[in-house]
Structure 1
Amino acid sequence: MTWTGLAEWFPLHGLLSAIGLLVYTVGSHALHQRRHPSAAVGWVLALLLVPEAGLPLYLLFGTRKLPKAQVRHPARRAEADGAIAPRWAQQLTASMGLAPPAGYRALRVHRDGAEAAQALFEVIGAARERLDVCTFILGRDRFASELVDRLGQRAREGVQVRLIVDGVGALMGGRRDFSEVQAQGVQVVRFVPPFRSPLKWPLRGRTNLRNHRKLVVADGRWLWSGGRNLAGEYFMGESGRPAWVDLSFDLQGDVAAEAAAVFDADWRFALDPRQAAMGPAGAGPDGWPAAATVPPAAQLLPSGPDYADDTVHTLLVTSFHRARDRIVAVTPYLVPDESLLSALVMAARRGVTVDLVMPARSNHRLADIARNRPMRDLARAGARLWLSPQMIHAKAVVIDEHMALAGSVNLDSRSLFLNYELMTVFYAPEDIVRFSGWIDALAAGAARYEARPAGLARHVGEGLVLWLAFQL
């Protein structure tokens, strides 16, 4: 080979070596992201076979957790004094960096959208110093307009009002511009806008990580939370269409202070992605009544890229394996990963009553296709699946008489492994009965699902949807 040939070969060799090293590095990262095995294999194949497409797609959508420096590990004691939560649950959640159970008072589980709206407006009206609002979607309908007006009124009265809206959720709600909200004195940030400057927001795989949390906190002492986005269809219905069936609640006390701390961390991250450390719990002004629940009987359970562990998924899988009598849940979408599905199937096979309530047809066609396979597996194992004619958007799970979870988490892989989510765990027997009764009333108006054999074409179609839409 001539010197000229060598001169031409070395740059090409260096380029190919650099590409190979980059593919190897990113591929190793994909394998260590603790995702579904088929998803990990899919990403690696994409990186190897079509790196020109696989690399940018992985940088945009592949990362599941924040860098270690940004993952929260708050120092907490393992157990709360006098807590009635099972000891194993306290130890498990403490090992994942979560706060111990806390006290609260005046829990209200909202029966419908009208009651939820009334409670929401009460919380907004009660704030004296600060009002924190986090939502995935803020609509452009009459309900959302009234809500924005109320937030603006509180801001004009001297209350610090902060609003977080997810970047993708803002587009889904039809709000590309928040100037009219900000003009009323409300501080607004969009959580990871999808169309952002790469100089301000370095590509770290965050485009696929959405903030799905729903919470409103007044002065760190009164919390409104659940599954409802802040738009008309989640409360009263719009344009002649009935409201979706959803679940929300409000309470006062120390649990609300923990929610305020979660909001503070999300707010800092939305302003600057390099800031994600857990801040101190919010403290309300003097004059708020102290939490009346003794012993501590509820626990905030945030999950998402800001936690090293998949907190909700871990607690659910463990609880399902420990269940002895009954598991009852309501979810709009049922696309669990293999470990969660296996835990439910095993529970049903060993005689635990498993009741799952969901809409006969949801607002996401792909989710309805992907759920068929796990529904058949569960029905064959003896679980009872109930299909409601109404669109259900509620998310809650009750395990025996030990715990009830309610909040924003759907039983699908996106909620369990990708999104920023928020659930509250209730341990008081009387509260567990309230949530299980709410789900049972919903099941009473639903039809029981009967599994039918699926042909080859259907199996293939379901598998493709499940893999491409819910595992990668």
Structure 2
Amino acid sequence: MWRELFAPQWVSVHGLVTTLALGIYLANSHARKQRRHPSAAIAWFVSLALMPYLALPLYLLLGSRKIPRNLVGLHVQPTAAAMKPPGLSRTQILASTLGLPPASTYEHFELHEDGRQARQSLMAMIDSATTTLDICVFVMGQDALGQEVALHLIQSAQKGVQVRLLVDGVGAYLGGRLNWRALTDAGVHVSRFVSPFLSPLPGRTNLRNHRKMAIADSCRVWMGGRNLAAEYFEGDPSRRQPKTAWTDLSFVLSGAIALQAQNQFHQDWTFATQAQRQEPTAPPDMTVAAPCVQWLPSGPDQAEDTLYTLLISSCFAAQNRIMAVSPYFVPDATLQMALTLAARRGVLVDLVLPRKSNHRLADMARHAALRELTAAGARVWLTPEMIHAKAVVIDDELAMAGSANLDERSLFLNYEVMVAFYKPTDIEQFAQWMARRRQSAQPYEAQATSLLRELLEGMVRWLAFQL
């Protein structure tokens, strides 16, 4: 049997398949400008070389992470360096070269302290919509919160409001079997963003829409890290298996920034439904107002890894403090280096994480990075409850908050959106919010590790977060 398996003709066939697989990988990466993180590129190359029969189908199904720009639309062209107006911050200058929307203004900003306030704000926004209401979310739960949201959406549609609900194609299965028919029968337009079984484009099945936002009348946006399920707000004790409330972060903005949120939703909706592309709504002239917020989309629909680039640049430039909160912490080598070097040069680095998250693999994969950070002088705080908030504060110059976790899937694969805040009073609100979460947290204490433990952690990182 073994002699037949290693017969010259089979060896030749295997060599041909391997060459074909590697050729497809290289040609696709070049033609589609598929730049990858080095470790992910190595993982794909080695897998295709050693296991082409298994790796090639997986690559064709999951391998692409950027969408051709002509299929997306609504991109802002990078600003030429000579045309940048004076007085912009480092982040605004860098963002302008990445093709991101220009910094904007807001009329009102409200940061929610807890799930109760966030829920009341969301329901009030839904009920206040008079013409349009657009919601994009990763998960919508079959629980008390999900049913309450569905009821309010139905009532809005019955009042004549155009209501659109966009749920991620994988996330739609994670929240339970919601009664989608009741929504559509009431006039709510519902769509799933890239079904895992029916992707509109090949090679994008694993690119999930993790954005979370609700836009009313193109002038108010509710957003942050909360999915529309009970655990992200106040919990649901009435269930057979009660849902405990998590700590999460969300906020409301009104004004010009909401127009950029509306354009983002149009882009995502058009891609998901293959509808006719709409021209983006032009924001009002900002020349008389100092821009204080900026829309930061990141993901396959952006030519660059926008959020990752801004985060790395800001961490290397930090002088006094870096504060961050995230449910998962699995940084790549460059982000880890930026945080470690900041701590070593005297920047106060505070990282708030849950003691135990809802993803055990992520918890196992984070320890090597946390050991290195604490050894460099960073402070890591572990909260007793699950914390699902996502925010970063750099000095007194920048705060970023939204949907992106500090892990490689959020920074390199998912569709995400954050908002950058430049006003010192707004930045301090986020800093104080994180400081209050830290009051009940315990400092992380690195434990002695064995070689086997370190190998296991490395395997988890390589397998779970690179491909």
Counterpart AA for 2:59: Y
Counterpart AA for 2:41: A
Q: Distance in 2 between matches of 1:169 and 1:84?
A: 42
Q: Which residue matches 2:461?
A: 466
Q: Distance in 2 between matches of 1:160 and 1:40?
A: 44
Cα distance, 1:225 vs structure 2: 0.3
Q: Which residue matches 2:54?
A: 53
For the pair 1:74 / 2:72, whether they are aligned, the reply is no
- CA deviations 1:415-445 (Å, max 9, x no partner) are 0000000100000010000000000110111
Q: Which residue matches 1:212?
A: 210
Counterpart AA for 1:152: I
For the pair 1:225 / 2:226, whether they are aligned, the reply is no
Q: Distance in 2 between matches of 1:75 and 1:297?
A: 21
Report if the CA contact (8 A) 2:18-2:49 is conserved: no
Q: Which residue matches 1:33?
A: 34
TM-score by length of 1: 0.89
More displaced stretch, 13-22 vs 42-51: 13-22
List aligned pairs for 1:263-274, cutoff 5 A.
263-272=265-274
Cα distance, 1:45 vs structure 2: 1.7
Q: Distance in 1 between matches of 2:280 and 2:88?
A: 24
Report if the CA contact (8 A) 1:81-1:295 is conserved: no
Q: Distance in 2 between matches of 1:333 and 1:259?
A: 25
The DSSP-based 3-state class of the residue aligned with 2:206 is coil
Q: Distance in 1 between matches of 2:220 and 2:20?
A: 52
The DSSP-based 3-state class of the residue aligned with 1:425 is strand
List aligned pairs for 1:316-395, cutoff 5 A.
316-395=311-390
Report if the CA contact (8 A) 1:83-1:296 is conserved: no
List aligned pairs for 1:175-190, cutoff 5 A.
175=177, 178-190=180-192
Q: Distance in 1 between matches of 2:27 and 2:156?
A: 50
CA distance 1:282–1:117, shift in 2 (3 Å): farther
The DSSP-based 3-state class of the residue aligned with 2:110 is strand
Q: Which residue matches 1:295?
A: 290
- CA deviations 1:314-342 (Å, max 9, x no partner) are 00000000000000010000001111111
CA distance 1:93–1:194, shift in 2 (3 Å): same
TM-score by length of 2: 0.90
Q: CA RMSD in A?
A: 2.7
Q: Which residue matches 2:44?
A: 43
Q: Distance in 2 between matches of 1:142 and 1:231?
A: 8
Counterpart AA for 2:228: L
Report if the CA contact (8 A) 1:191-1:211 is conserved: yes
Q: Distance in 1 between matches of 2:445 and 2:92?
A: 38
Cα distance, 1:233 vs structure 2: 0.6
Report if the CA contact (8 A) 1:219-1:282 is conserved: no
Q: Which residue matches 1:236?
A: 234
For the pair 1:249 / 2:251, whether they are aligned, the reply is yes
Q: Which residue matches 1:454?
A: 449
Q: Which residue matches 1:307?
A: 302
Cα distance, 1:160 vs structure 2: 0.5
Counterpart AA for 1:372: H
Report if the CA contact (8 A) 2:172-2:192 is conserved: yes
Counterpart AA for 1:112: D
More displaced stretch, 350-359 vs 294-303: 294-303
Cα distance, 1:281 vs structure 2: 2.7
Structure 1 residue runs without a partner (length 5+): 1-8, 285-289
Cα distance, 1:78 vs structure 2: 6.7
Count residues with an aligned counterpart.
451
Report if the CA contact (8 A) 2:318-2:394 is conserved: yes
Q: Distance in 2 between matches of 1:218 and 1:434?
A: 24
More displaced stretch, 17-26 vs 57-66: 17-26
Q: Distance in 1 between matches of 2:146 and 2:196?
A: 23
Cα distance, 1:373 vs structure 2: 0.7
Report if the CA contact (8 A) 2:352-2:381 is conserved: yes
Q: Which residue matches 1:3?
A: none
CA distance 1:68–1:76, shift in 2 (3 Å): closer
Report if the CA contact (8 A) 1:221-1:283 is conserved: no
Q: Which residue matches 2:4?
A: none
Q: Distance in 2 between matches of 1:439 and 1:211?
A: 26
Report if the CA contact (8 A) 1:27-1:47 is conserved: no
The DSSP-based 3-state class of the residue aligned with 1:104 is coil
Report if the CA contact (8 A) 1:124-1:151 is conserved: yes
Q: Distance in 2 between matches of 1:296 and 1:136?
A: 29
Cα distance, 1:19 vs structure 2: 6.9
Q: Distance in 2 between matches of 1:78 and 1:128?
A: 40
Cα distance, 1:451 vs structure 2: 1.6
Structure 2 residue runs without a partner (length 5+): 1-7
Cα distance, 1:21 vs structure 2: 3.6
Cα distance, 1:242 vs structure 2: 2.9
More displaced stretch, 92-101 vs 298-307: 92-101
Report if the CA contact (8 A) 1:303-1:421 is conserved: yes
Q: Distance in 1 between matches of 2:354 and 2:14?
A: 53
Q: Which residue matches 1:6?
A: none
Q: Which runs of 4+ in 1 moved over 6 A?
A: 12-16, 78-84
CA distance 1:177–1:35, shift in 2 (3 Å): farther
Q: Distance in 1 between matches of 2:451 and 2:367?
A: 14
Cα distance, 1:30 vs structure 2: 5.2
CA distance 1:340–1:396, shift in 2 (3 Å): same
Report if the CA contact (8 A) 1:127-1:159 is conserved: yes
Q: Which residue matches 2:107?
A: 105
Q: Distance in 2 between matches of 1:206 and 1:435?
A: 34
Cα distance, 1:82 vs structure 2: 8.5
- CA deviations 1:123-172 (Å, max 9, x no partner) are 11221111000000000101111111111111111110001000000001
Percent same amino acid at aligned positions? Answer: 48
Cα distance, 1:20 vs structure 2: 3.2
Q: Which residue matches 2:434?
A: 439
Report if the CA contact (8 A) 1:223-1:250 is conserved: yes
